Amino acid sequence: MPRLIAARLVQIAITLAVLSFCAYGLIGLMPGDPIDLAIASDPRLSAEDAARLRALHGLDRPLLARYGAWVGMVLSGEFGFSRLFAQPAAAVLWPALGSTLVLLGAALALAAAIGIGLGALAALRPRAAPTVDAVAVLGQSAPSFWLGMLLIILFAVRLGWLPAGGAPEDGAGLGEALRFLVLPVATLAIANLAAYARHSAAALEAALREPWIRSARARGAPERVVLWRHALPNAAVPILTIAALDAGALVSGALVTETVFARPGMGKLIYDAVMGNDYNLALLALLLAALVTMLATLAVDLAQRALDPRLRDA
Amino acid sequence: MPRVKLRLALGLAVLGVLAAAALAAPLAQQWLGHDPFAPDLFRRFEPPSPEHPLGTDDLGRDLLLRLLHGARVSLTVGVAAALAATLLGTAAGLFAAWRGGMADAVLMRIADGLLALPALPLLVVLAAVDPARIGLPRGEAATDILRIVVILALFGWVGVARLARAAALSVLAQDYVRAARALGAGEARVLLRHVLPNILGPVTVATALAVAGAILAESTLSFLGLGIQPPAPSWGNMLANAQEMVFSAPLAAVWPGLAILLAVAGCTLVADGVRGRG
């Protein structure tokens, strides 16, 4: 187990190193580096001035040297400055991460609960299966930003029950914060529950065919007990596989949802930073999102091993 | 068994209707007699009428015609990106399965790494690259389409490669492959004549899923303003436009989303049908 965790952490570190180098290189190909912006804002700036500024900020050094310097800074805990927010990058990143984790946690819990419920319905009632299947195919096919817009039109514009987006003011109570959370969580949950419904239906159907289910029924166990006590624990491992595979989709969904609802968080931060030419912040936020995704996947893998002893030797 | 055919038939029917609608865009334009690209500021936010079956947008352009022209762009991008991803992915998967060893390990580690990462933030970063800095003309519709196709193919190949590799591994272990080699067939002939035709099933499934993924990804990028740039319509950027008029024309937000939903669901059904899922 410790060896497995160590190996996976090394793999994550390698992925982050490759990703950061590629993203760092790509940023050089994006519009509006600081010197371009300085030239645009001051037409008196001559070509010599621009070259001098470039040398002053080290922008004339080769890519590898600049990347090495940046990595050294980040590893020593110095995250630099966000131009867009006019704050140290760390002061922007951590609150955004917290906000996104709340959104992801709530959406994941809701998606898994409804998805597994639908899956159980399909597995137990064969006549309901085609309906559940159709709901799952449609849910998987709907673009999440569109779902978000429809929810805004219905619940914010037409009915006026919930805010269309944004964040509660500082010092607002928990109730107010929850009101702002309802529509984004619903959007992200609807977009992700289809995968849970499809796979838990398949996993439960397989588990219900096992001989111990027949024994449980023969002993007179009620269907409720058969499903929750005997079938579900055995279906949990394949269902958790979906959770691991879906971690990336969930983080991607957070970017869309936060942008549609103008809700501050990691996803919106990446988007705003890229659009606002704040490339230091964009790079840090991208790496942080990747790190969170990979750590979540690792956590699910470990949970699977805890649940199923057969996986532990692998 | 009949249900499997039902899925395939339903999926193909949905995709067929969408493709026909895309092909019919110039006909519909002639019939209705509007230019979907020319603003008409006296006819903004018109409700549906015989003249404008779905109404007009914030610049007074006909929404139905923009939807049909958007179908051409969105479906072209989806299919082109999926075909590129299929070519790349099948080649990578075949090569990895055939070569084995180090090449296989490296390719599959790259695939694992890409799959473990959140795709959309990476797509946003890639899509923000300025085409002018890599020597392409900026702001032309054709450049835009090519740019998005390349970006989506860079991510889409992974799913195809994994399926193609798994299928190729099992085919390479078959007796007829050994027989072909014993009869003196070269490796190229073995791969192209004996392995490739036998992995087409899984590859077709992967392609259908790749089309679905590419249509969703293109619409998301265009919605975020990083994909197809207006005035060229795509379903995604029509929805971005619709978001700004949810108060004045809420129905404008319904149709492009429904079109995306149908296209993606159609591809998923085809993939399920080919895979033989009940």
Distance (Å) from the alpha carbon of B56 to chain A's nearest alpha carbon: 18
For A157, the closest chain B residue by CA position comes to B247
The DSSP 8-state label assigned to residue B52 in this structure reads: S
> What residue type is B31 in one-letter code?
W
In tens, the pLDDT along B82-112 reads 999 999 999 999 999 888 888 898 898 888 8
Q: What percent of chain B has pLDDT above 70?
A: 95
Give the Cα-Cα-Cα angle A254, A238, A9 (nearest 5 degrees).
Answer: 60
Please indicate whether, in this complex, the C-beta atoms of A26 and B125 are within 8 angstroms of each other.
yes
Contact yes or no for B118 and A157 at CB 8 A:
no
Instruction: Report the residue from A152, A252, A260 with minimal CB separation from B118.
Output: A252
- Reported as a single tens digit per residue, the pLDDT across A9-32 is 998 999 999 999 988 888 877 776
User: Does B129 sit within 8 Å of A248, measured CB to CB?
Assistant: no
**∠ Cα A125 A126 A128 (to 5°):** 70
How do residues A200-237 score in pLDDT, each as one tens digit? 888 888 888 888 888 888 888 888 888 888 888 888 88
Cβ(B5)–Cβ(B273) under 8 Å? Answer: yes
Residue A297 to residue B125, Cβ atoms within 8 A: no
Nearest CA distance, B97 vs chain A (angstrom): 22
Please report which helix (H) or strand (E) contains residue B190, including its range. Answer: none
Supply φ then ψ for residue B100, to 5 degrees. Answer: 65, -165
Q: Greater confidence, B26 or B98?
A: B98
Predicted structure pTM score: 0.87
Work out the pLDDT band at B278, boundaries 50, 70, 90. Answer: very low
Task: Tell me the average pLDDT of chain A.
Answer: 84
For every residue of A2-53, which 3-state class applies, written as one string? HHHHHHHHHHHHHHHHHHHHHHHHHHCCCCCCHHHHHHHHCCCCCHHHHHHH
Query: How far apart are alpha carbons B117 and B124 in whole angstroms?
Result: 13
Distance CA B23, CA B38 (A): 21
Q: Which chain B residues touch A14 with a CB distance below 8 Å?
A: 113
Q: What is the pLDDT of residue B79?
A: 94
**Cβ <8 Å between B125 and A282:** yes
Question: CB of A143 within 8 A of CB of B220?
Answer: yes
Average pLDDT over residues B234-241: 87
pLDDT at B31 over 80: no
Residue of chain B with shortest Cα separation from A286: B121
Closest partner CB to B119 (pick from A152, A252, A275): A252
Mean of the per-residue pLDDT values for chain B?
84
* B128 to A274: CB separation less than 8 angstroms, yes or no: yes
* φ, ψ dihedrals at A88, nearest 5°: -60, 140
Residues 6+ apart with CB under 8 A from B223: A143, A145, A256, B236, B237, B239, B240, B243
pLDDT digits (tens, 9 = 90+) for A236-295: 888 888 888 788 888 888 899 999 888 888 988 999 888 888 888 888 999 999 999 999
Of A137, A144, A252, Cβ closest to residue B268: A137
Residues A162-199 have pLDDT tens digits of: 777 777 777 777 777 778 888 899 999 998 888 888 88
Write down the residue that tokens 């006026």 correspond to: A160
Q: Is the pLDDT of residue B1 over 50?
A: no
Asked whether residue B161 carries a pLDDT value surpassing 60, the answer given is yes
CB atoms within 10 A of CB A278: 22
Partner-chain contact B121 A138, CB within 8 Å? no
Interface test with B, best of A12, A22, A146 (most B CBs within 10 A): A146
Q: Do A149 and B118 touch (CB under 8 A)?
A: no
- Measured between beta carbons, the chain B residues lying within 8 angstroms of A201 are none
* Residues in Cβ contact with A157 at an 8 Å cutoff, skipping those fewer than 6 apart: A164, B246, B247, B250
| Chain A residues within 8 A of B239 when measuring between CB atoms | 143, 145-146, 149
